[in-house]
Amino acid sequence: SASSGVWIDGLRSLAARGNVVVKLSGILPVDGAFEAVRPWVDACLDAFGPARTVLGSDWPVSRRPGDVYEDWFRFVLDDCGLSADEVDAVSHGTAERVYGL
């Protein structure tokens, strides 16, 4: 479960360190049922906040079709309750700040 146990405790411990960010990638479900991973996405966003969250695609490690990534981005950016400013942070702002782009 995303809401209990060692995983969430570890996530919260990392989030307590102000210099750590989380990248949402590597959790794309094979069947495209993104709601199945929503508890983990929500837990990351809750623990780190959009200002410390980066949205990733897994490319080039995963060579899945491009529409899967488009659907993944759409799910996180449109269906996870983020405001316009939070979408900007998760989609590019956090990465730009962290990587000095």
Q: ω into residue 60 within 30 of 0, thus cis?
A: yes
Which pLDDT does position 76 carry in this prediction?
A: 85
| Total structural domains within the chain | 1
CB atoms within 10 A of CB 50: 20
Burial of 5 (0-12, 13-18, 19+ CB in 10 A): exposed
Task: Note down the domain range covering 25.
Answer: 5-99
Instruction: Please give the single-letter amino acid code of residue 85.
Output: D
101 residues of the chain, pLDDT tens digit each: 666 688 899 999 999 999 999 999 877 766 768 888 888 899 999 999 999 999 987 665 566 555 677 788 888 888 888 999 999 999 999 999 999 99
Strand (E) or helix (H) holding 45: helix 38-48
Write out the E strands in 33-98.
53-55
